[in-house]
A and B are shown apart, each in its own frame.
Chain A
Amino acid sequence: MKSNKLNQIILNIFMISLSVFCLIPIWLLFSASLTDDSEIIRNGYSFLPKDISISAYSYLFDGSLGIMNAYGITILVTIIGTVTGLALTAMLAYPLSRFEMPFKNTLAFFIFFTMLFNGGLVPTYLIYTNIFEIKNSLWALIVPSLLMNGYFIILMRTFFATSIPRPLIESAQIDGAKEWKIFYSMIIPLSTPVFGTIGLFYTLLYWNDWNNGLIYITDSHYYSLQNLLNRILQDIQFLQSSTQMGNKGDELVANLPLGSMRMAIACIGIVPLLIAFPFFQRFFVKGLTIGSVKG
């Protein structure tokens, strides 16, 4: 009894310190976003800003950077991308989990193959821009990530194959249910954990994606939040390491957002995800298959 309590205390301390280690960087990020720029340069980042300044946020929201537009794009792309990605993944993974499926292994091999090899940047770009013409459109941010992740499909297929008992499907068939009916009346309700997990993966993937934007978007109307942040960082890096511009380079750097601004963008970038995460958590309850198959 006593040792049990001691264990509890030790575990609690361990977990609390673990959480603190996770929270410290976020707090530092937040506090830096509220610090005055020259203060950061003079004294470095600190946990408690000496003089709080909201100038970074007011600059962000006065519209000259297009932050609000980028925010909207990110949210839209994340929602559409997650929902569509999840639907496509489930509808591909489910047939693959059924042993009656013809050409099952061939299909599975294709999926597995793309996990190891891809076409490379230039050929991929050529296909997407010349054949699908997604350059400078919202599709550029959605389509390339949709089915590109074989890992998600295999994860989902394994879940369907192992966690859903075959007799369950057979019993539904005996009751006269067709494949669609089985899929949406039985499989989906029983698979909320895997839908929740992969949905979360997709959300993170779309929310944090800057690579598609970097490659396919040159029109700033379609910048997502991460694109905007990435572009600012890349521009700063380029200008600071370029020696050929002399004092011209200085003038350009002067126009770019400084430390606290970048922190502020990162801050408003993570907040919606922090809110979304607990929402996903309720799906992580194991599907209630126990008891449905007897004997």
Chain B
Amino acid sequence: MRKNALKTVLFAIMALTLVITAACNNGKSGNSDTTSNESGETSSDLKPVNLVVAFPMVTDQKDMELVQNEISKITKEKINATVKLVPIGFGAYSQQKTLMLSSNEQVDLMISGLGTHSQDVAKGLYVELDDLLEKKGKGIKDAFETTIGSDILNAVKIKGKTYGIPVIRNMAQDISILMRKDLVEKYKIDASKIKTLDDLDPIFKIIKENEPNITPIAKSSNSILTVLNGINGELLGDGTGLSNKDPGLKVVNWFETEENAYLLNTVRRWYQAGYIDKDSATSTETGFHLMKAGKAFSYPNLIDPWFNEDSSTGRETVVVHLKSAPIATSSINSFMWSMAKNTVNQERAMMLLELMYTDKDVVNLLNYGIEGKHYVKVSDDIIDFPEGVNASNSSYFPAQVWMFGNSLLSYHLKGEDPEVHVKAAAATKNALKSKVLGFNFDSEPVRTEIAAVTNVMNQYQVALETGMIDPATKVPDFNKQLKAAGMDKIIAEKQKQLDAWAVSNK
């Protein structure tokens, strides 16, 4: 009896092993011809191709395939190409990008940037786009000129060559403090009078005294100062920065500057007065959630300049604009579209990219899905969810309008400011531009130093910027360690590259 049972188990095991081996072989021969079996009538002389588009996306959209087929219908007609959309989680995106591009997997267009653009270009992951733009992508250039300005497109060049097309979206943002509207009204706070960080102290005091369960200010991203640092200078990464006081281009250690000392002292003062949560250095909850849960009164963020009140995410806030953040290279090249070196057809990929910057139907399919199914039109440019559907149960609502090509071609959701695209274009065109817009630092010569400095910064920066430790005693320690880690070498290299850039840019 027992023997028989064992026999059966063993044969099942063997059978499974065989099935697995066989199936692996099937996979091998089965999907190599996906690009060649696209047939269909077309008036165009172009050879049919299937183009793969990869991008990061937060939540998976159930109807991605339907949208993909709808887009393919348009692209089939216009450029005789079909499209395959490959959404990848934000957290996995950079690893997936490296893996996909280092194997020979087909990827034609993909989102690039996310803070590693110059390294990726140095690795040769992307195709140089200048010629292609001239030949097949005139529409993209026009789109920039007529909206947010060509200098944005030119700012992402590396050594004079374009490797990525920035997304057309609003780039002008203000360093702001978001405050809970109900509390602002309750204590009759005049938000328009707040001009500097020092003006916030009395307000925080009122909140602290009257609402013992509410933290006056919470952090955004890693620390209280992540956003607010921009008030007093421009950070160039790796602990270096340009001082606002200095009209020239002198790179300094940001943590040795008076401006940073002022910010750190402010935060320390807030911390000691109890305006900042004691565990905010280690907490993973950011201002947004804390405010939504009723635990925080305010938090700093970067906000579109025309936004004065925000209720888009289910809470009423008052926006206090402190200073407009100059448009820097890093904010432009955070999200771009690049052509992967694995592309099967450069010209066609460029034509598809052009559609994403010029074709309203393509842009809105990507943003909102299919008309009648995922949205209904209220008027020409204004749309709403169909009955019974909302943002959280819709089968296609990525909410990443700012990522798909020319976002200024997208429809407006009902309730949104219908003038927002005009405002965005004007604000970006006229916005304050950084003194070093277009400068891309090549970190290769000082890679080891940057790794060492980053380690030291991880140790001190968040604790200092949330007021946990006293800047008077700890900042000198911090700077000593930064020096030992090779900070001076990084500054010298940055200065050298920046000077060279300034000369060539004149």
Give the contact stretch, choosing among B300-308, B482-490, B492-500. Answer: B300-308
**Nearest Cβ distance between residue A16 and chain B, in whole angstroms?**
32
Given the interface contacts A184-B6, A234-B90, does A255 sit within 8 Å of B304 by beta carbon? no
Cβ of B96 and Cβ of A247 under 8 Å apart? Answer: no
**Nearest Cβ distance between residue B374 and chain A, in whole angstroms?**
14
The answer, among A139, A142, A243, A256, for a CB contact under 8 Å with B302, is A243
Cβ of B31 and Cβ of A133 under 8 Å apart? Answer: yes
Give every chain B residue within 8 A of A189 (Cβ-Cβ): 2-3, 6
Give every chain A residue within 8 A of B105 (Cβ-Cβ): 129, 135
Cβ of A143 and Cβ of B24 under 8 Å apart? Answer: yes
Number of interface residues of B (CB under 8 A): 74
Cβ of B301 and Cβ of A250 under 8 Å apart? Answer: yes
Cβ of B58 and Cβ of A38 under 8 Å apart? Answer: no
B255 at the binding interface (Cβ < 8 Å): no
Which range holds the interface residue count of chain A? 35 or more
The answer, among A86, A122, A133, for a CB contact under 8 Å with B99, is A122
The answer, among B16, B31, B86, B312, for a CB contact under 8 Å with A83, is B16
Given the interface contacts A83-B16, A244-B331, A244-B334, does A235 sit within 8 Å of B227 by beta carbon? no
A237 at the binding interface (Cβ < 8 Å): yes
Give every chain A residue within 8 A of B66 (Cβ-Cβ): none
**Nearest Cβ distance between residue B461 and chain A, in whole angstroms?**
12
Cβ of B226 and Cβ of A255 under 8 Å apart? Answer: no
A46 at the binding interface (Cβ < 8 Å): no
The answer, among A83, A143, A185, A242, for a CB contact under 8 Å with B13, is A83
The answer, among A41, A250, A251, A255, for a CB contact under 8 Å with B392, is A255
**Nearest Cβ distance between residue B384 and chain A, in whole angstroms?**
18
B210 at the binding interface (Cβ < 8 Å): no
Given the interface contacts A220-B60, A250-B313, A251-B313, does A244 sit within 8 Å of B89 by beta carbon? no
Give every chain B residue within 8 A of A66 (Cβ-Cβ): 60
Give every chain B residue within 8 A of A1 (Cβ-Cβ): none
A253 at the binding interface (Cβ < 8 Å): yes
Given the interface contacts A41-B289, A247-B301, does A231 sit within 8 Å of B89 by beta carbon? yes
Give every chain B residue within 8 A of A237 (Cβ-Cβ): 91, 284
Cβ of A84 and Cβ of B227 under 8 Å apart? Answer: no
**Nearest Cβ distance between residue A261 and chain B, in whole angstroms?**
12
Cβ of B334 and Cβ of A184 under 8 Å apart? Answer: no
Give every chain A residue within 8 A of B86 (Cβ-Cβ): 218
A selection of 30 A-B contacts at a CB cut-off of 8 Å is: A38-B294, A41-B290, A66-B60, A83-B16, A84-B13, A84-B20, A122-B99, A132-B24, A132-B28, A134-B27, A135-B105, A185-B6, A188-B10, A214-B92, A215-B99, A231-B92, A235-B58, A235-B89, A238-B90, A239-B58, A240-B284, A243-B220, A245-B334, A246-B304, A247-B304, A247-B307, A250-B301, A253-B289, A256-B58, A258-B289
Given contacts A142-B20, A218-B86, A235-B89, 12 further A-B contacts (CB under 8 A): A37-B293, A126-B102, A126-B103, A132-B24, A139-B27, A218-B88, A233-B91, A235-B91, A237-B284, A242-B334, A244-B331, A247-B301
Closest 10 A-B residue pairs measured CB to CB?
A234-B91, A246-B302, A38-B293, A41-B293, A87-B13, A244-B334, A220-B60, A231-B89, A238-B90, A250-B288
